[in-house]
Structure formats: C-alpha cells, structure tokens
Structure 1
Amino acid sequence: MEALRGIDLRLGAGERVAVIGESGSGKSTLALAVAGLLPREASIEGDIRWSGLAHAPRNGKDIGFVFQDPGGTLDPVISVGRQVAEVVEVNLGLSRHQALELAGELFARVHLPDPRTMLHTFPHQLSGGQRQRVGIAAAIAAGPALLIADEPTSALDTIVQAEIARLMDRLVRETGMSLLIVSHDIALAAMIADRIVVLKDGAMVEAGSTADLVNRPKADYTRSLLAASLSLDDNPRATAG
C-alpha cells in the first residue's frame, strides 16, 4: 500500500513550507520520510537531496524534529535539562557541564520560566506548552539546517498554540533554519509559512505561495479546506499580494 506517491517538494535555505491536509492525507508520513524516521520495513522510491551537504543528513545534527506529543517523546524519569544536554553532548561533543550550560541557554531562548531551575524538573512537572518548548529546545540544540515540526500545536490550547507558533517563527528567522511544518490548521500554516503544499490521499493536490494559495486556490479540495478553516474576517493573508 502506498502512503505517498508522486511527491516533489523543494525547500530552500531559510524557507518556511507548510504541508496541510486532512487526517490520513500523508502529512506526517512525509515529514518522517524527510527526516529518515520511517519504520525499517518502509520502502522509498526516489531520493532526498541536500545540496548544501556532502553527506546524508543526520538527525539531531542537520535535522531537528519537533513531535506532535512532547509528553510521549520525553523520558519521564530523566530531568528535561539532562535530556536536552544529551542531544548537545552527542551532536556537538561538549562535556556534560558545557552541555547543561547550553541547555539552560536554550531554555531561555524558548522562553521557559526560570531556565536554570527548569533544568532539574521532570516532564510530569511541566504544562503541555512547557513540554513542547523543551521539545523545541532539543530540536534546535545542535543548530540544524532544517527544523521539521509535525503538528506541533495540535495537543495545546488555543492561546498556547499561538505562542508556540510565534516562537518557532522567531527561531527560524533568527537562525536562518529552513522549516517544514505539518499541520491540519490552515490558519497556522498561513501565519508562519512562505509556501503551502496541500496533500490528499498521499498525493499533492496543489502548492504555491501562501498568499496565492489562500487568496486564489485552484483545487476544489483546497477551497474546501479553506472554507472549513478560515473566514474572511480571520484570514491572515486576505490582503496579501
């Protein structure tokens, strides 16, 4: 069974691309394929090319991945500071002390309160938004060229969703990382992405600049998604050129 077919996706340096579609459209599978995180039994035809690298991209080092459920990806019996520090030790070769220092700096960058104290807390002591900020800190710890975020706000309440979206937008702008964000939320995609790719049943329906796709969608499926998600009053790119 094919989960994806005929995908042709380009992502430039510093570019932000959103992949949207309904549940089961293949969005998360695409993100996992790009990151090399598909199960071993999965087979891929074609290739993923990185023009700026002379080697295959390394997860954690060249690619940072923000998962949908931060509570499910953090180890419950290890402090969150230690978990982020381990990413730094493995990918940057720093000592344990240096790695913890950098973890504290990363916690400050993602706006966690009292970052030094936060280093010694455990996942169950944090809110969902705080756990996601820890996940983002881990994803950017080694300075990746590409940040992939798979439904990073879907498990959060509306206010925290907006905070996390603004945080990722700021981080990619500051660092020059490319961003591939997977979401069913078209409003979020329109707020953060330069281009949007629409998937349905594992295939690309259409792709284009955010302004063009939101204001002038070509496919009926895209128009349906927009009608279900955005009104004229809250369309974030309604006046975009």
Structure 2
Amino acid sequence: MIKRSVAAMLAFSAVALASKDGAQAADIYVEGQLGVAVMEDIDTNTYSGAAGGITVTGAKGTLEYDEEFMFGAEAGVQNFGVQNMRLGFGVKHMNVELDAITLSAGSITDGTTTITNASAKVSRENLGGIAQAFDNNVQLYSFNAYYDIPMEAAIKPFVGGGIGFVDIENADSLEPAFTLSAGARYNLSESVYAGVKADYHFVSGPTDELGIEYENFGVFTAAVMVGMTF
C-alpha cells in the first residue's frame, strides 16, 4: 500500500507541475505530516461465519482501537487564480491495533480463545489470536480544498474539506471517506513553512475478510507538518 501511495503522490505532483507550466502564477506545495490517529469505536452488524481460523457465531459487538502513530504527505497548488484557495491530494498511513472487544450477542473463537456476550469488555491481552484478525494497516487518500483565512498575523489559519477513499487491509473493498480540516501555517522563509493540522475523516462502514459488516465510523488525526512551495 505504501508503494501505491508514493505512486499516487508522484502522479498528482506531475499534474500539479504541468498546471504550473500552464499558469505561471500558480505555486506548487509539497508537505510531510507526522502525528497521531484516533479511531472511534466501531459497531458491527450481527454475523455468523468462519475464515482464517476465526469462527464467528451470531456475533454483534463493538471494537475499540488504540491511538496510533500516523504519517502522511500532501501535494497541491495555491495562488492559481482563486484568492486564498488551495487544492491538494493527500495520503495518510497508520497501523491500527485492536484494544478491546465488547460483544452484545454471540461468540468469536480462534479454537483456543473464545469470547461471548457474557464476557463483558475483553482487552487485547485476553483475546489471543482473535486480536490479530482485527488489526489493520489503513491508508487514507483524499482530494482536498482549503481556504486560507486572510489575516495580517504571521500565523495563517485555514479550514478545508475533502473527498476520497480508505484502503483498509482486511476490508474486501475500498470505502468512500469525507474529510473536514482545520489548522494553521507559519512561513519559516519564502519557500518553507511549518504548521499544525487536525482532520476528521468520516468513513463508510466496510465489510471485512471474515464477512463482518461494520457501521460507519470516524477517524481523527492531528499532525505537525513541514512543507515547501516552489
């Protein structure tokens, strides 16, 4: 998935550079992001089935995930003829690990460890091999638009939104995602800036490789960023 992210970023950068050639007033920006991701608790629909050594019987519950390290990158254009607007394409990567499961019905077993709706909340250390079935590598891809709020101060706040998709390792398909953003940038020089950014990603509920269907959920990310314009 990381190779796919790099390819997508390179493709978008090439398009942005082509746009710059056609409109000399436009500036290209490229930035890196480093921060934390917090995934909301995820509810499942009732399901029975077996795959990958995991057997699910009439199970319905809630999955809780740990806060995780996140890194990302974005490339885009600014000063392209629409005042205070920026357009960009961003990619974020995170590894999310299951922290606990609470079942409201049914059972899940890996043949060694079994949890049921009588188990209350079961933490990762008591889940055995079940936990790994719900761990995921996650990549978020988003086409974003930002409005830089005009201010005389050196720190420039911005708000934005985006639309894209999420690639979840154990999901059987890509899922649409919508993004709301807010943050601020500070110019360290004419071509280098730093800043902070918070995003909320609303993700359409996936179906995983076990066949379990999930409700819609949200992912919050907060990051520091460093970028260049040219």
Q: TM-score range by the shorter chain?
A: under 0.3
Structure of higher CA gyration radius: 2
Structure with greater contact order relative to length (CA < 8 Å, sep ≥ 6): 1
Greater percentage in strand: 2
| TM-score, length basis structure 1 | 0.18
